[in-house]
Amino acid sequence: TQLLEQSPQFLSIQEGENLTVYCNSSSVFSSLQWYRQEPGEGPVLLVTVVTGGEVKKLKRLTFQFGDARKDSSLHITAAQPGDTGLYLCAGGGGSNYKLTFGKGTLLTVNP
């Protein structure tokens, strides 16, 4: 069974601060996705990373896939209240398509 551990579980910061959230596993994933979910809505895909060591940037968000494809991180620079939400990582792999989700990091950015 593939498991994804996300840390921290909760994070409350002030506007303008930087933060990093982590997604770790003992399993190798063919790809890893990050989603953001806001209250009352479904998750929205932010990025997909597929190559070990890959780094992708989306405005103030930087995503990195570990060299061994077992872990990933999301770094947010100068966080804004609009970044508030539940950040979920999801790994895919194996012969059958099946996404395994971490339990998420609930981020609150206070103005």
Partner 1 sequence: KAGVTQTPRYLIKTRGQQVTLSCSPISGHRSVSWYQQTPGQGLQFLFEYFSETQRNKGNFPGRFSGRQFSNSRSEMNVSTLELGDSALYLCASSLVPGVGQPQHFGDGTRLSIL
For binding to partner 1 (CB under 8 A), which residues are involved?
30-31, 33, 35, 40-45, 48, 50, 88, 90, 92-94, 96-104
Write the burial class of residue 88 (CB in 10 Å: 0-12 exposed, 13-18 middle, 19+ buried). Answer: buried
For residues 83 and 69, give the distance between their C-alpha atoms in angstroms, rounded to a whole number. Answer: 26
State which residue, 62 or 92, has the beta carbon closest to partner 1. Answer: 92
Q: Shortest Cβ distance from residue 80 to partner 1 (Å)? A: 23
What is the C-alpha separation between 51 and 43, in angstroms, rounded? 23
Task: Between 96 and 111, name the residue whose CB sits nearer to partner 1.
Answer: 96
Q: How far is the CB of 10 from partner 1 (least distance, A)?
A: 12
| Residue closer to partner 1, measured from CB, 18 or 101 | 101
In this structure, are residues 87 and 102 in contact, taking their beta carbons and an 8 Å threshold?
Answer: no
